[in-house]
Amino acid sequence: MVQFRKMVIGDYDQAYELWKKTPGMHLQSLDNTRAGIKRVIDRNPDLCFVAEDDEQIVATILGATDGRKGYFYHVAVAKKYRQQHIGGHLISQVLAGFKRQKVEKVGLFTVINNTDAQKFWQHLGFKERPDIKYFDLDL
């Protein structure tokens, strides 16, 4: 039976294995090392969650906020566990956390060719922003 709980850094190895199997993660684009993920969890301890079945991580979500806007990162559900509302439950937990923190808007990124993810987010009511182009800079 799938259980939901807050993510801790001890989940990193299993979570990273799941992320590697999830299309569109682009793990090399950010610091996704244990230390990098620990910083996200430490700064957002009430917004990062996992789902596990028989002590195996089957889904993850990292929520983060700047105090005004919230973001979803590393939303992943193992293929065998999709279509069971696990992702939706994790998203609901993070959204509730954002509301408690008075966050007014939520954003996320998908890679341009990950149409399955885009359909999923649109199904949940997220809208594509045609008015912006995203830029970043590696430090």
Cβ neighbors of 10 (< 8 A, separation 6 or more) are none
Check residues 74 and 113 and name the one with the higher pLDDT: 74
pLDDT (tens digit, 9 = 90+) per residue, 64-83?
999 999 999 999 999 999 99
15-24, 85-94, 129-138: segment of lowest average pLDDT: 129-138
Query: What predicted TM-score, i.e. pTM, was given to this entire model?
Result: 0.90
Q: What percent of the chain has pLDDT over 70?
A: 100
Determine the distance from the C-alpha atom of residue 25 to the mean position of all C-alpha atoms in its chain, rounded to a whole number: 10
